[in-house]
Structures are given as C-alpha cells and as structure tokens.
Chains A and B, each alone.
Chain A
Amino acid sequence: MTAVIETAGLGKRYRKLWALADCTLSIPAGHVVGLVGPNGAGKTTLLNLATGMLAPTTGTIEVLGGRPTADPAQLARVGYLSQDAPLYTGLSVADHLKLGGHLNPGWNAELARDRVGRLDLDLRRKAGTLSGGQRAQLALTLAIAKRPELLILDEPVASLDPLARREFLQDLMEIVGEDQVSVVMSSHLISDLERVCDYVIVLVDSRVRVAGPVDELLATHHLLSGPRRDPASLPDGMEVISASQTDVQTTVLVRTRGPVLDPAWTVSELGLEDLVLAYMRQTGATRNRHLEVQK
C-alpha cells in the first residue's frame, strides 16, 4: 500500500515548546482517514507540516512521495482546507472561482460551477457575507476543483452547526465516491468521523496510539464484562486497552484477533467513539500493565 503521508522522526518546535515531537507514521492511500486525538496532540501541526505551511524542526515528511510545496506540480496534487476556511472577504464567489481557475492548471471549472450552483451560492456575493457553512463549502469547492490526489482537511466542520456539518460531510462523501481522492481529515467530533471515515489514526502526544481500517478495528476490539478477576489472567493474544474494576465486576476493553471463548465474559460490541476514547484515555499505568500482560 502506498502512503499519502509518511513521516519519520518529525518534530516541530515553537521556541521551547514542542508542538509535535518525534512523530513517525504512515497514512495509506485510497482511504478517508480520520485523524483524532486530544487537544495538543499535534494534529493541526502535522497537517500544517503536510501542506508546507510549516517547515519541520526535525525529521522528514513526504506527501505523495514528494516534499510538500516543492514545486507547482506537487502543490497541484494536494488540496487543503483549514479549520476557519479562509477566503478573501472582499472578493465575490465568482472571483474565488476565477482565482482557482487562474492558479491551478488542472482546474475543473465545470465541477466548480456545478457545485456552487447546487449550493445555491450567489456568484456575486462577497465571501465576507457568506455563512460559516457556505464559506466551508466554497473553500471545499476550491480545494477539490483543482483535482487533487490528496485532500487534507483540518477540522473542517468544527465551526459549523449540526445541519451544515451533516451537509458538508455528505458532500464530501459524494466527492470521494466520484473522484477516488484520498482524504485525511482531523476532527474532534468522532461521531462525524464515524460517518465518513474508513480508516482511523489516534494521535496522542505526537504518537500514534492506534491506526487501522475502521471495520477491522471494530471487529478486533471487544468490551468484556464479568465477575471480578485479574485482567492479567486473560489468555495470550488478548491485549488490554483499558480495564475498570468494581468490588464484584471487571470490565476490560481488549484487542484480539481470535474469538472470545471464555463463557464467564459477557461480550458486547462497541462503537468507534468508545474505542477511540479508550485509546485517548489510556494512561501510562494502563500501558505498562498491558506490557506486563504481553510478557
């Protein structure tokens, strides 16, 4: 599988503070990848490095096999939409489409016009008078009409109301279906990611906690509950992600390839959100314990 974004020892420091440190990851092509993690995990920094808005302090990053923003051809291969969907407030919708046409050799004017028409955007309206949802939609139109191979979205729906959010994501799904474009998007809203992403990367403290196709992750993680017992007594091949115990009951989230055979456990399925949260909450203590389990 080829990678759309590949980093090795990537780090970015602001004065004394590391926004991203020693990050090594590989994001596969052909997916809608959701990048999730708590605030300060380095998601935005990673995407800024991928789009060449920032230069790395240490390490390397390759996007579609090339250095970000190395030349016009490399720029043409990546579409980028940042959180606040910046547009020129004094320029009209039509001006923005012209801008895209003039600055991108691969510009698909028909696609852009169709989308703007479908969104009911008045071509003469200044971008500054558009609603948040309309701005995001126009910015997305600019990002996809240049026909990129990779679309990078940084919190694209964070500032939108639930309705606009749903419409935006629906649109995104249609685009991905039609264009075979790879997408990497970061979001706080795991429920939104669940709707569109088929691959998830959980980033905590610049480290990849877990990464994989959504259906595979869901199939291999189980929530077990049963009478109180030591989680360390679980059979080999079961990795404990999180565990909680009361006086009488033990609940563990495990990752395993095989089926859960012990009849003492009640196995329940879990959603992507629970799974991601479990990895995000995973403290040093839990991780140490699962190291012990593996011994």
Chain B
Amino acid sequence: MIWLTWRQFRAQAITGVAAVALFAILLVLTESHMTSLYDSSGIVGCHGGACAGAANLFLLKLSSGRGVSFLPAGANVYVILYFLSVLVILIAPAVIGSFWGAPLIARELETGTCRLAWNQSVTRTRWLTVKLALTGLAAMVVAEALNLVQAWWAAPIGKAVGLGGSASIMSEGRFGQFVFPTHGITPLGYAAFGFALGVIAGLLIRRAIPAMAVTLAIFAVVQFVTPLWIRPNLVPSSQTIATIDAAGANVTEASITSGGRSTFALSAAAVPGHPGAWITSSDAVNVAGHAVSGTPAACVSAIPGDIGPGGSAALNNCLASHGIKVALSYHPVTQYWPLQFAETGLFLVLALALACYCLWRLNRRRAI
C-alpha cells in the first residue's frame, strides 16, 4: 500500500518539492544582501534607545533600495519578497488541500479506479489510512519547510521589529494577522486541516474539480474567521485598565447626533509594561470602571471635522481629563507559544476528526 501511495503521489510530490526549492532559492539569493545591510545598520551591539533608531534605519534601507542588481531601480524587492513569501505560506495549505487532498478519493471515484483499488487484498480502511497518513505528512512537511526557510530569511526583519523598528510596512509584530498563522508551528496544523478538508470534499462531492473549488472557498473562510473570532479566545486573555496616554490610544471615531449628543470609540496601541502584546479589544471606561460610549459634553467641541489615523490630541486630552481610561484585553508575548500550540492543536484535531469521518463513511455508506 505504501508503494502504491508513493507511486500515485510521486508526480505531486515532485511538484511540491520543486515549489519549496524555488521558494528557497529565491530567498537564499536575496539573503546575503539583507544580512549585510543588517550588519552595517548599527543594530549589532546597540544600546538602549539607539536600537530602535538603528532598527528603523535598517528597515527603511531594506524597503527603499532595489537590493538585487538585476531588478530595475525603485523595485522594492524585499517588500515584494516579504509579502510574497508570507502569502505563499498563507495559501499553501489551501493549495495542498485542493491539489493533493481533493483528488485523493474523488479521482478514484471519477475514473472508476476505486473498483480496482478496493478489490485488491487490502481493506478500504487500510487503503485510506496509509494514503491519508503519508500524503498528510508530506503536506505538513512542505508547509513547515516553507515556513522555516522564510523565518530564516526574515530573521533580521523580525529582530529589527522586535527592537522597536516600526518604520516599515514589514513591521507587523509576531501576533500580526499574517505573521502569526505563517510562523512557528501553525502551518503544520493548517496544512493537515487543509489536506483533510480537501479529502472530505472529494469524498462527498465525488468530483475532483468542484471539490477543489469548495476546498479553497471553505479554507478562505476559515482563514478569515480564525484571527477575528477564534484565535483571541484560544487562551484566556489578560485584562488591564490604562490611561489613554499610556495605552497610546486614539479616538478612532466620534459622531455628533442631531440632539447634540455624541458617541466615540477608541483604539489602543500598546499595553503598559507589556511591549509587543497582542491587544484583542480596547474599550473606553469611566472613573468607576464602567464602559462608556457617550462623549462628555465638554469634549464635544473638541471633536474635529475629520479624525485621521493619527487621532486628535485635543480630543484625547479632553477625554483623559474627564477621567476616561482604556480597558484592554490582551495577550502578552509570553502567550505566543501557548497560542501557537492551541491553534495548531485545534486544527490538528479538526483534521483528525475529518479523517476519521472519511474512514467511517468510506466503509459504511458504500456507493460507487
């Protein structure tokens, strides 16, 4: 059974390895220039406040130069590569699910070869178990390989961001919506889940091409829903109340209704004492600690006509002077790995559940 699995998977495996190799070559070729920029930016051996400056300098240099000689001037190769590489890791599980997972059973049903496969001296359970295990493992290896190569390549960027480098669009922290699911061990969980999703779509729809499309669609929904509603609740979050100033909070919207009443909402940028923490919610509270949304009457006049992303200092100060603070829910950086394990575990368990259902259904609901 292992031989047949490998023989049928061979072409797909070669494609997968070629994709990883291409990805690695692209990053290896551009890595030396990034490292030399990093070494010459003064980050190595910096002290205190100088570090953030040096980190910003590095990030700016990286995203402004062309970096590689064969590219036209002005092409920010590192910005392109950074986002491309993150995107590749992000969509790899969906691609694996639709190209490796969906045809696994659907193709056999479509071409009738299931009649050949299931009439050898091997039970369907064994047939599917071996296929799921080997191909699923390969899916996880490919996803994690992409992630490790990218993590190695982007290590200088990560260090610079960690030192306070915030001057670049690459400055997303470890909890970032695109960084978190593409680093650490989460790609393992997503790859297993994407693959199992493809297999079950193929089994239920019984045709490979529609199953591939459905796999892509469902996976996209999962990737959209996870950071919004699932990830924040995987591990209990911490709560604190901070002043508007300390939380770096800004009023993000404020409106005045016809009756002269006004509501506002604010958003915090930092948790005092917990640099790099992931803020999952920030709400305005009054002195008593109760949530408020009505703007104090004295501050209505401070509402500017247009609140930009920088907020309004006058409005912020006015709210602060009326005792309004920010209640924060957040995950400190120490919860990075617990969150990684929880999310990976969740998707591995989902993948396993889907695999078990496939096995059960293949045996119980026989229909060809």
Interface residues of A (CB under 8 A from B): 48, 51-55, 69, 71-73, 75-76, 78-80, 82, 84, 86-91, 95, 98-100, 102-106, 139, 142-143, 146
Contacts and interface: CB of A to CB of B under 8 A. Distances in A.
Contact of B123 (A51, A71, A143): A71
4 A-B pairs closest in CB distance = A103-B120, A76-B121, A86-B112, A55-B366
Contact of A75 (B4, B111, B121, B364): B121
A138 to B, nearest CB: 10
A55 B365 contact: yes
B116 interface: yes
A80 B366 contact: no
Contacts, number: 78
A256 to B, nearest CB: 42
A106 to B, nearest CB: 7
8 contacts: A48-B368, A53-B368, A54-B366, A75-B120, A82-B112, A86-B114, A98-B7, A104-B121
B360 interface: no
A51 B126 CA distance: 17
On chain B, which size bracket covers the interface? 20 to 34
B176 to A, nearest CB: 42
Q: In the complex, which of the residues B7, B112, B120, B366 has the most CB atoms of chain A within 10 Å of its own CB atom?
A: B120
Contacts of B364: 55
A55 B365 CA distance: 7
Interface in B57-113: 111-113
A75 B115 contact: no
A52 B126 CA distance: 15
Nearest to A92: B7
B122 interface: yes
Contacts of A82: 112, 115
Interface in B301-356: none
B116 A139 contact: yes
B224 interface: no
Contact of A86 (B3, B116, B122): B116
Contacts of B368: 48, 53-54
Q: In the complex, which of the residues A76, A80, A99, A143 has the most CB atoms of chain B within 10 Å of its own CB atom?
A: A99
B1 interface: yes
A139 B368 CA distance: 19
A100 B3 contact: no
A69 B3 CA distance: 22
B121 A88 contact: no
A163 B48 CA distance: 90
A88 B1 contact: no
